[in-house]
Amino acid sequence: MRNMNLHRHHHGGVSFTALLFIILSVFAPLGHASSSPILSELNGPKLRHSRLFKSALQHQVSDEQLSDIWAPLSNQGWKPFVESTVTSAPMPESSGYIQVFLDGGLNQQRMGICDAVAVAKILNATLVIPYLEVNPVWQDTSSFEDIFDVDHFVNLLKDDISIIRELPDEYAWSTREYYASAIRSTRVKNAPLHASLNWYLENVYPVLESYGIAAISPFSHRLAFDNMPIEIQRLRCKVNFEALVFVPHVRNLGEALVSRLRYPIVESIDAVGTKYLRQVVDTKSGHGAGKFVSLHLRFDKDMAAHSACDFGGGKAEKLALAKYRQTIWQGRVMNSRFTDEELRNQGRCPLTPEEIGLLLAALGFDNSTRLYLASHKVYGGEARISALRQLFPYMEDKKSLASSAERAQIKGKASLSAAVDYYVSMHSDIFISASPGNMHNAMLGHRTYLNMKTIRPNMVLLGQIFMNKSMSWSDFQEAVVEGQRNRLGEIKERKPKQSIYTYPVPDCVCQQLGV
């Protein structure tokens, strides 16, 4: 908010600013205090690392640093698994129909779809296109067909499993509403987290035999990652990295955003004073497409409240987040039992926009770096983002890059908006997330599969060094560079119990001979 010299206008001896603050404090509900635009501007969060921030603004990045940080990953000796071209044997007769009901956001649902295909294969069942539940936070009613290219999905998997869009008439009664109204014999609701292959054979296959259909709900993280046949693992990889393609209008918008990030359009004036639009090429090399970083900020109110960390917004913010936590989760948030210092020492506090900006600056990105902000809503609005924008003035998002007409088809649809962000992020030179989460995990896995650079913040180290208020910029930068060593996209093989969708090596890839 621009300085409007409000302090000059008095009302009975009380400044207008103070009076406005009193009125807002009285009439704004406590739980929504930080969401009021005016209050947010008047009481925006102060810089928590002002010394480092000032140094970062003045810091000059060397050409060597820039060259190193933008360099693509070298060949790490792996390549995506490619199926044999030999025609597979015809599939045996189907044992029945499998339905799954998927909750969560786009990326959690994406993983559920992959698991559903695998379960259908395990049970030799016909998969009904998965049903996506309405997200209680985002209230998005988007269906599978609204987000993903169904024809591509069905055709690519036709030799693996049988997939249908709708149940035949004799099973038309098997709907979401049917299972919500009473206990049903065809609903499987006791699938444990990360259930084994044998669990499905012992508990779901008999339902298929008896009724010809089984509806599994809930179905999030309901299939194990360990002790699975390699063909099941590779099928999950095939679904995630090849079969799940976004609908054309999402891809088209994503491609337009990528093009505008690589070739920014600016207004120029020619020799005779005529204004015209031109595309800017890479300012560093003088030719070719420019590079950009996709940043998933993941700093919405839901995340901020659940983390139970202190983000510098003062008492009002703490009370607002505590009230939100109580309302949404009835206080059942384990993190809220720890102090802010304990949480930061454990690396459990998401990075604020200010902190992610300092991390990027320390790694060698300068103020000419183009950032794409792949996020929904940022808690605290522009007041919270302003520090990041000062460090990286060429920061863009969907609103700044595309017209309202172009965004019309995704307006009010959080899943479609997230799909566009996913597309742009997959086409960025570098991806970084402010904290672990489903988007971070999905992007890390997909980019690892394609050997693309991804920055994985060392949350424990960063949580600890950001608490050191006396650290100099040179010491901070040295600690960051050392702490992020081998966390810039270097392949990490999957360990037991880890997700195949986050760590696709070695299940989804093959070793390259002679590398």
Residues 416 and 329 in one domain: yes
**Domain final residue pick, 245, 268, 290:** 245
Residue 395 lies in a domain: yes
One-letter-per-residue 3-state SS of 49-109:
CHHHHHHHHHCCCCHHHHHHHHCCCCCCCEEECCCCCCCCCCCCCCCCEEEEEECCCHHHH
pLDDT of 467-491, one tens digit each?
999 999 999 999 999 999 989 888 8
**Could you give the CA distance from residue 357 to residue 91 in angstroms, rounded to a whole number?**
53
Are the C-beta atoms of 124 and 437 separated by less than 8 Å?
Answer: no
Q: How confident is the model at residue 5 (pLDDT cuts 50, 70, 90)?
A: very low
Are the C-beta atoms of 394 and 369 separated by less than 8 Å?
Answer: yes
pLDDT of 314-367, one tens digit each?
889 999 999 998 888 887 888 888 999 999 999 999 999 999 999 999 999 999
pLDDT (mean) for 396-409 = 95
Number of domains, the chain = 3
Of the listed ranges 30-44, 231-245, 269-283, 373-387, the least confidently predicted one is: 30-44
pLDDT of 133-187, one tens digit each?
987 777 889 999 999 999 999 999 999 999 999 999 999 999 999 999 999 999 9
* pLDDT reading at 101 higher than 70: yes
* pLDDT reading at 99 higher than 90: yes
Residue 83 lies in a domain: no
pLDDT of 19-76, one tens digit each?
333 333 333 333 333 344 333 433 557 899 999 999 999 988 888 888 899 999 999 9
Q: How far is CA 136 from CA 104, 145, 421, in A?
A: 9, 20, 21
pLDDT for 282 equals: 53
pLDDT (mean) for 242-259 = 98
Residue 86 lies in a domain: no
* pLDDT reading at 465 higher than 60: yes
Residues 27 and 66 in one domain: no
Residue 79 lies in a domain: no
Residues 16 and 37 in one domain: yes
pLDDT for 459 equals: 95
pLDDT for 364 equals: 94
Query: Looking only at Cα atoms, what is the longest distance across the chain?
Result: 88
**Could you give the CA distance from residue 355 to residue 362 in angstroms, rounded to a whole number?**
11
Residues 265 and 410 in one domain: yes
Residues 332 and 375 in one domain: yes
pLDDT for 268 equals: 55
**Could you give the CA distance from residue 471 to residue 51 in angstroms, rounded to a whole number?**
9
Strands 395-396 and 10-11, bridge-based pairing: unpaired
DSSP calls for 116-143: HHHHHHHHT-EEEPPEEPPPTTT-----
Q: What is the 8-class DSSP label of residue 172?
A: T
Residues 362 and 440 in one domain: yes
C-alpha closest to that of 214 among 132, 144, 106, 116: 116
Residue 15's beta-bridge partner residues? 10
Residues 453 and 503 in one domain: yes
pLDDT for 329 equals: 85
* pLDDT reading at 307 higher than 60: yes
Q: What SS3 state is found at 476?
A: helix
Total length of the chain:
515
Would you give the distance in Å from CA 41 to the centre of its chain? 27
* pLDDT reading at 10 higher than 80: no
Residues of the chain above pLDDT 70, percent? 85
Residue 146 lies in a domain: yes
pLDDT (mean) for 217-239 = 96
pLDDT of 447-462, one tens digit each?
999 999 999 999 999 9
pLDDT averaged over every residue in the chain: 86
pLDDT for 376 equals: 72
Residues 303 and 438 in one domain: yes
Q: How far is CA 471 from CA 61, 402, 513, in A?
A: 19, 41, 47
Q: φ, ψ for residue 380 (rounded to 5)?
A: 100, -10
The pTM score is 0.86
Residues 164 and 257 in one domain: no
Residue 335 lies in a domain: yes
Residues 172 and 147 in one domain: yes
Residues 342 and 405 in one domain: yes
Residues 452 and 333 in one domain: yes
C-alpha closest to that of 150 among 173, 127, 133: 127
Burial 116-149 (b: 16+ CB within 10 A, else e): bbbbbbbbbbbbbbbbbbebeebebebebebbbb
- Structural domain range at position 17: 1-43
C-alpha closest to that of 455 among 371, 349, 360, 344: 360
Q: Find the CATH number of the domain harbouring 235.
A: 3.40.50
**Domain final residue pick, 198, 226, 245:** 245
pLDDT (mean) for 204-215 = 98
**Domain final residue pick, 227, 245, 263:** 245
Residue 104 lies in a domain: yes
**Could you give the CA distance from residue 384 to residue 349 in angstroms, rounded to a whole number?**
16
Residue 89 lies in a domain: no
Sign for the CA dihedral angle at 161, 165, 168, 174 comes to positive
One-letter-per-residue 3-state SS of 335-383:
HHHCCHHHHHHCCCCCCCHHHHHHHHHHHCCCCCCEEEECCCCCCCHHH
Instruction: State yes or no: cis peptide before 506, omega within 30 of 0.
Output: yes
Please name the residues in contact with 51: beta carbons below 8 A apart, sequence gap of 6 or more.
469, 473
pLDDT (mean) for 75-104 = 84
Would you give the distance in Å from CA 55 to the centre of its chain? 30
